[in-house]
């Protein structure tokens, strides 16, 4: 009597053009939707900041264990990170925590610019919180033709320089001036000066 070969179940076919889940893109979108910095998510998930950065830039493939940690830290189902669920809707209100607001400092530490505008508007419309210590200055080269700055002084005595012109400002005053020439903002007082700075680039 002839023996029959055991029945085998064929493996499911995989499309030739199938791509792995884009975990990095989804992770970055979820993290930004929750206004989490890489540091904050690193602490919540127990995954190193360097590993998170590599995952988001598609330079590393996370293990299932790492994806599970990230999903728990973000409070989303595992499938959301693997791309099996639709991305979350853009929230009506996005809050950026104070510790996640980027800032720029002069080497001497006498000038700090906190970047309040979103990165996607850079080069079009930018706004900053400016702090100048006594004797501190923000000095800049010329921007593209037609660009203007709008400076509102909150505290202290500030001088604005645009080319060969200069103007002293008191708290509550606003200066609007061309910055397609060398320009500067200087603290003339003995204490800290603070201001809002808006840059409108030529369209």
Q: Which residue pairs from 30-39 have beta carbons closer than 8 angstroms and sit at least 24 positions apart in sequence?
A: 30/74, 30/76, 30/80, 30/81, 30/87, 30/88, 31/56, 31/74, 33/88, 33/90, 33/91, 33/94, 34/74, 35/94, 35/95, 35/96, 35/97, 35/100, 36/74, 36/100, 37/97, 37/99, 37/100
Residue 184 has phi, psi (to 5 degrees) of -155, 155
Residue 20 pLDDT > 60:
no
Considering only residues 186 and 202, tell me which one the structure prediction assigns the higher pLDDT: 186
Residue 14 pLDDT > 70:
no
% of the chain surpassing 90 pLDDT = 42
pLDDT in tens, 162-182: 999 999 999 999 999 999 999
Residue 186 pLDDT > 80:
yes
Tell if the pTM clears 0.85, that is, is over it: no
The SS3 call for residue 81 is: helix
Mean pLDDT for 181-202 is 95
| Average pLDDT along the chain | 85
Q: What is the pLDDT of residue 110?
A: 94
Residue 17 pLDDT > 50:
no
DSSP count for the chain of H helices, then E strands: 5, 10
């Amino acid at each position: 009597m002839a023996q029959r070969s055991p029945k085998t179940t064929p493996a499911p076919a995989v499309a030739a053009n199938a791509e792995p889940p884009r975990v990095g893109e989804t992770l970055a979108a979820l993290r930004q939707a929750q206004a989490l910095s890489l540091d904050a998510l690193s602490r919540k998930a127990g995954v190193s900041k360097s590993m998170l950065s590599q995952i988001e830039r598609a330079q590393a493939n996370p293990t299932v264990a790492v994806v599970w940690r990230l999903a728990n830290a973000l409070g989303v189902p595992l499938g959301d990170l693997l791309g099996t669920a639709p991305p979350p809707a853009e929230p009506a209100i996005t809050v950026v925590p104070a510790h996640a607001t980027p800032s720029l400092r002069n080497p001497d530490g006498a000038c700090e610019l906190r970047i309040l505008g979103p990165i996607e508007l850079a080069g079009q419309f930018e706004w900053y919180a400016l702090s100048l210590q006594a004797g501190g200055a923000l000095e800049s080269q010329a921007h593209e033709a037609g660009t203007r700055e709008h400076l509102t002084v909150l505290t202290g005595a500030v001088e604005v320089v645009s080319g060969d012109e200069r103007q002293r400002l008191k708290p509550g005053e606003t200066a609007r001036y061309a910055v397609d020439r060398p320009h500067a903002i200087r603290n003339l007082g003995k204490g800290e000066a603070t201001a809002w700075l808006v840059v409108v680039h030529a369209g």
